[in-house]
Structure 1
């Protein structure tokens, strides 16, 4: 039953974040020209809709299971026995905060300068112990991504103080 309650909570969170993304984040971040059938916001909105539908499936499955077991009530879902232990989610919070910091720093320092230390941090955070190996892999990977996207796909990254 605990798994279904977690599914229900996760589904609600996913649907909520999808709605915020669809109704507020995407329209404020992506400008679309008038009269265009498929604009720049089409694929982000499509992906957010798919994620939102998956969240709704989680909500429906959780509600259906709890209803069949006769345990669908607000006190059961929000009860003290089901309160999430926040210590379990500390690695997730650290990951999300580091990602937000990376996105902010990247605007000022540029893609390459911000991405190399961020990737080193992620590799070490997720279990690699050799910092020299993480550094080499990070430099190679970031440069490969930068060259591929800037030269082949003609996508511009945030330029840092050195112009790249």
Structure 2
């Protein structure tokens, strides 16, 4: 069930990704308006049939971001790199871009709410099928992206729920 988001304008980074494209569709189904922030090389065909506005931006320089988020109620930041040739590339794609986005929003006259989502790789797998990974145990990052996100403080804090299992509220 999608909450009532009618009349709300949501900007989604990473809108062409696995989670982003589904989130865009759910927001539209709930009556919200979506602006998808995409890179020039993003395959926008995954959004075909979903009535979203598309803004081509550069999250590393901030180019186009202020214009694209102007008047938004919420910005959901899903953009990330899960593959990179080096830690420096992970840092650029994941840490620097998040800082640039936050900086642009902070300089807005009326900043929208920012929701930042991390990768499952930062926390590790759920403890068992159908169970949520909570903040009660240590994070078990997966691969390079998981270790990178944990190092930058994106592993879930104590009490946070990550990767809710089926039926988890």
Bigger Rg, which one:
1
Instruction: Give the TM-score of the pair, scaled to structure 1.
Output: 0.24
User: Which is richer in helix?
Assistant: 1
User: Which is richer in strand?
Assistant: 2
Task: State the structure with bigger RCO (CA 8 A, min sep 6), 1 or 2.
Answer: 1
Instruction: Give the TM-score of the pair, scaled to structure 2.
Output: 0.23
